Amino acid sequence: MTTSDRPGDRLAAFGNQLVEVHLQLREDLDRIREDLDSYLDGGERPRMLWAHCMTFCSALTRHHTGEDGGAFPALAERFPELRPVIEQLEHDHRMVTGILSRVEELLSGLAPRAGLSEAADGTGAADGTGAIGGTGAADGTGAAGAVDARAVRDELDGLSAILETHFRYEEKKIVEALNSLDVPEWKGSPPAFLLTGDD
C-alpha cells in the first residue's frame, strides 16, 4: 500500500488499513484450516502447523489488544456515540480470547518438542510419529495425550465464524470514524492494531 506524505492522506488511511489487516488475518486462518482439512481427509500431516497457529494467535491477539488499548479509546473520546459499538467489539474480543486459549491448549501437544516441527528423522515429530494424533491416524485419534485434529478444526471453525461477523461489523461501524481520527502518536509508526504477522 502506498501512502502519501500529506498528513491528511496518511490519517485517512487508518480505517482502510484496518480492513487490510482483517483481510490478512482471514487469509492466514483460512490457510491453517485448509491444512487441517487436507490432513483430516487423509493427506500428509501439515508441516509446522503449531508454529503457524501460534503465529496467527499472536497476531490476532496483538491486533485486538491494540484496538482495546489504542483505537477504541481514541474513537470513544472523539465519537462518544460509538461507545455502545465499542463495547460490543470488546465483548467479541473476550469471546475470541477464550477460543484462542482453547486452540492454544489443544495445540500444546503440537509444540516443537512433541511434534510438527522439523526433526532429524524428517517426519517433523521429535518422537518419529510425525502426526497430530501421535500415530498418524487421519481421524485425529492416536496415542494418549495426542492432539485431536478434529477438535482443533472445530475450534478454528467457530473462530472463523465469530471473526467474520466481528470484522464485518467493525468495518461497517468504525472504519469511517477511524479514517477521520487525528492521533499524533500514530503519525510516526503504525499502531499495534494495524500490524500484521509480517511486521
Q: What digits encode the pLDDT tens for the residues 136-189?
A: 443 434 443 346 788 988 999 999 999 999 999 999 999 999 999 888 888 778
Residue tagged 492522506 (cell numbers): 9
User: Is residue 184 situated within a structural domain?
Assistant: no
Lowest mean pLDDT among 52-61, 101-110, 134-143: 134-143
Distance between CA atoms of residues 19 and 30, nearest Å:
16
User: Is residue 121 situated within a structural domain?
Assistant: yes
Tally of domains in the chain: 1
User: Is residue 54 situated within a structural domain?
Assistant: yes
User: Is residue 183 situated within a structural domain?
Assistant: no
Of 96, 95, 67, 62, nearest in space to 82 by CA: 67
User: Is residue 198 situated within a structural domain?
Assistant: no
Highest-confidence segment of 10-14, 120-124, 128-132, 150-154: 150-154
What angle (nearest 5°) sits at the alpha carbon of residue 161, between those of residues 40 and 101?
75
Express each pLDDT in 79-99 by its tens digit. 999 999 999 999 999 999 999
User: Is residue 197 situated within a structural domain?
Assistant: no
Per the structure, the complete domain to which residue 66 belongs is given by 8-178
User: Is residue 118 situated within a structural domain?
Assistant: yes
Residues 6+ apart with CB under 8 A from 6: none
